[in-house]
Structure 1
């Protein structure tokens, strides 16, 4: 394998493993894992620390996904290096080596990566996220909509995305979006439990 591919993936993973939610909360004297949902992500940071801190964490987490992909492209490395850098950052956010492999849900990091790799598809996913959240007031459902619509939009915008030169981008978009169902499994379980209670 090309050394640049390994470097992109490794650097992406190590940088993705930085949990800005935990670091920002720690600077405020708060252990985020012991408050709110306990999730080290932007949504919980916003709930526990306040909206402005949630936005700050979201932007920093998005930057984790955007930087490895963007720097790889700026350096003239193969497009696959950009995808591997993004995938590494995404994996690092989900399973951070610095924080016991217990990370966030990956929505912001995925969004930052897709902003670089396929901005048009991300825009469609972001619209779906906003529509669902406004309709349901449930961020988790909006995140799932983002994960479904983004790869679907990529395929619609480029019918050859799954098999052509952009296949690695499509694979990242699809696999990353599918992983949202795993990272949001507790949210889904709670929603189903509430629905059964209300039935």
Structure 2
């Protein structure tokens, strides 16, 4: 009887975590950049960089629209983590939601697995999971932007440091693992920017 109860408990935990992952992925798949572009008669996946994120939206729809979309994408991350906490009290649930919302933002099930680069939704999730980690990541970005004036380089370097920073803060193994998975996803979405950086010598990474 006791063994059966433990088995039922494990099944319930796994079900709750799967629900948290699924809901956060679906939430992340809602592309506010795509919606805003369609309202203006544009398909942002075919405009500019083709990325369905706040930066490309800002270039094509105006800075105000880009800022509004940035805020909404951050709120996606916050909402996903908050919802996961309501579904289950398992300590890994917020991290599962972080993984799901970033994955959904990068590869939206509603848009043929197109999407953004995941930075804003990741930041929103981290705001609830670990404000200290978010602060350090933002600090890394600020330093790189100050030196090179290149936001893509800053995003890439901060992403590389993400799992390392989690480790330095004493994060659990599963925290480090999920941070590594998210870093790999974000770096993959920046593959074109990485290719551009590889083609240019470091002396040209600085933007005027």
TM over 0.5: yes
**Structure 1 residue 98: Cα displacement:** 0.1
Please name the residue that 1:61 is paired with. 73
Q: TM-score, normalised by structure 1?
A: 0.87
User: Which one of the candidate residues 131, 146, 168 is aligned to 1:134?
Assistant: 146
Q: Which runs of 4+ in 1 moved over 4 A?
A: none
Aligned partners of 2:114 and 2:107: how far apart in 1? Answer: 5
- The alignment yields a C-alpha RMSD, in angstroms, of 2.0
Q: In structure 1, list runs of 5 or more residues that go unmatched.
A: none
Deviation sequence 1:78-116 (CA, Å, 0-9, x none): 121221122111111111110000111111111111221
Q: Which has the larger radius of gyration?
A: 2
Which residue of the other structure, out of 134, 157, 182, is the alignment partner of 1:145?
157
CA distance in 2, matches of 1:129, 1:10: 30
- The SS at the match of 1:147 is helix
Secondary structure of 2:92 counterpart: helix
Q: 1:168 aligns with which of 148, 167, 174?
A: 174
Counterpart check, 1:179 vs 2:166? no
Name structure 2 gaps, 5 residues minimum: 1-10
**Retained in 1: the 8 A contact 2:16–2:87?**
no
> How far off its partner does 1:75 sit?
5.0
- TM-score normalized by structure 2? 0.83
Matched, 1:34 2:46: yes
How many residues end up aligned between the 2 structures? 191
What pairs up with 1:1-199 in 2 under 5 angstroms?
1=11, 2-158=14-170, 161=171, 166-195=172-201
Distance 1:122 1:4 in 2: 26
Deviates more, 1:118-127 or 1:42-51: 42-51
Q: Residues 106 and 116 of structure 2 are in contact (CA less than 8 Å); yes or no, is this contact kept in structure 1?
A: yes
